[in-house]
């Protein structure tokens, strides 16, 4: 049995389990079981998104555990995300209602704008241009999307709202118009990509960082043969040996000690349990420094489909990298 997962608190006082189950890129047919296994070993925080196309399976897993009496709805913290084709304010509520239907829930604990970039409206998730490399853009601006997100809170359909993959300038633009402030910015975070200045900026504004891909997302669909594998990094392996832990446990512990909420993904019951067994050891200052020194701006989720979009959050850094 994994140790009880502690809560941290958003600025508005809402408790959120500091460790959650990520469901991105989880193979179809395995997600329902993964969610049930996660709840069995003590997870109470499940991270989903419309674009993952598996929310109906997540909902089946949650529903099964509630029906069995293992857990009540109010014990769970369920997150989902507004996809890029629904940024136009009049589409936001309908997009949420699809997610709620798929999850078979009456409300979400947290709803995020998944990316600051808007795609051409419609049900095609990636409305590709003829070149097949980029999507058709929409001119919807996320600052106009935000009031529609706030209305979901007013309606009791969503308890908290936040952002994902927003850079510091974009977070500030939201804060400039927000009646209800974003509680979190969910961003890619691991020793090859710390996003330290963005993290500092968000924390200074009372916005929690939620770290996705903390293990370096080794199974991402676009991985190349020569890409470095974070969990096989000699420093990570050495620290795992030192603490008699797995590389994954060291990487998850690292995010926790940085003060981040963390959402590793797995569909294996053994690894789901192991990923939660990170509260009985501590990385010392030297360990933390060694992991910090692995920084290489190694972004693995660049959202290259939307390069050229005026609201692309990272394109500038890619241009600098190409010089």
- List residues with catalytic annotation: 52
- Residue 320 and residue 209 in contact, taking contact as beta carbons nearer than 8 Å: no
With a CB cutoff of 8 Å and minimum separation 6, the contacts of 212 are: 22, 24, 47, 186, 187, 188, 189, 263, 301
Query: Which residue, among 261, 285, 147, 254, has the nearest Cα to 192 in the 3D structure?
Result: 254
In angstroms, rounded to a whole number, what is the distance separating the alpha carbons of residues 294 and 233?
9
Largest CA distance in the chain: 58
In angstroms, rounded to a whole number, what is the distance separating the alpha carbons of residues 315 and 307?
6
With a CB cutoff of 8 Å and minimum separation 6, the contacts of 5 are: 17, 18, 19, 42, 43, 44, 45, 276, 279
Is 56 assigned to a binding site? Answer: no
- Residue 184 and residue 207 in contact, taking contact as beta carbons nearer than 8 Å: yes
Structure tokens given for 282 = 């501590």
Binding-site residues sit at: 114
Binding-site residues for substrate sit at: 114
């Amino acid at each position: 049995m994994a140790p009880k997962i502690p809560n941290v608190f958003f600025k508005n006082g809402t408790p959120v389990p500091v460790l959650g189950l990520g469901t991105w890129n989880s193979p179809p047919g395995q997600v329902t079981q993964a969610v049930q296994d996660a709840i069995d070993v003590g997870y109470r925080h499940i991270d989903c998104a419309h674009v993952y196309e598996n929310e109906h399976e997540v909902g089946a897993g949650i529903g099964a555990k509630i029906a069995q009496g293992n857990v009540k709805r109010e014990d769970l913290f369920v997150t989902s995300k507004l996809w890029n084709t629904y940024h136009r304010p009049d589409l936001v509520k309908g997009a949420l209602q699809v997610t709620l239907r798929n999850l078979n829930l009456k409300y979400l604990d947290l709803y995020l704008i998944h990316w600051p970039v808007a795609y051409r409206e419609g049900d095609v998730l990636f409305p590709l241009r003829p070149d097949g490399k980029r999507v058709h853009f929409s001119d919807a601006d996320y600052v106009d999307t935000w009031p529609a997100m706030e209305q979901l809170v007013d309606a009791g359909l969503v308890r908290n709202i936040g952002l994902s993959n927003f850079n510091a300038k974009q977070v500030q633009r939201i804060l400039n118009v927000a009646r209800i402030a974003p509680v979190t910015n969910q961003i890619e975070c691991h020793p090859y990509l710390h996003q330290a200045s963005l993290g500092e900026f968000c924390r200074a504004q009372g916005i929690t960082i939620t770290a996705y891909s903390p293990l370096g997302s080794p199974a991402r669909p676009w991985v190349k043969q020569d890409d470095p594998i974070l969990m096989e990094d000699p420093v990570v392996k050495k620290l795992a040996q030192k603490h008699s832990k797995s590389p994954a446990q060291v990487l998850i512990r690292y995010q926790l000690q940085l003060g981040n909420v963390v959402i590793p993904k797995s569909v294996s019951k053994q690894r789901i349990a192991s990923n939660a067994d990170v509260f009985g050891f501590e990385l010392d200052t030297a360990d933390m420094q060694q992991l910090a020194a692995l920084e290489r701006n190694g972004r693995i989720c660049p959202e290259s489909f939307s390069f050229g979009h005026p609201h692309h959050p990272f394109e500038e850094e890619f241009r600098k990298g190409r010089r």
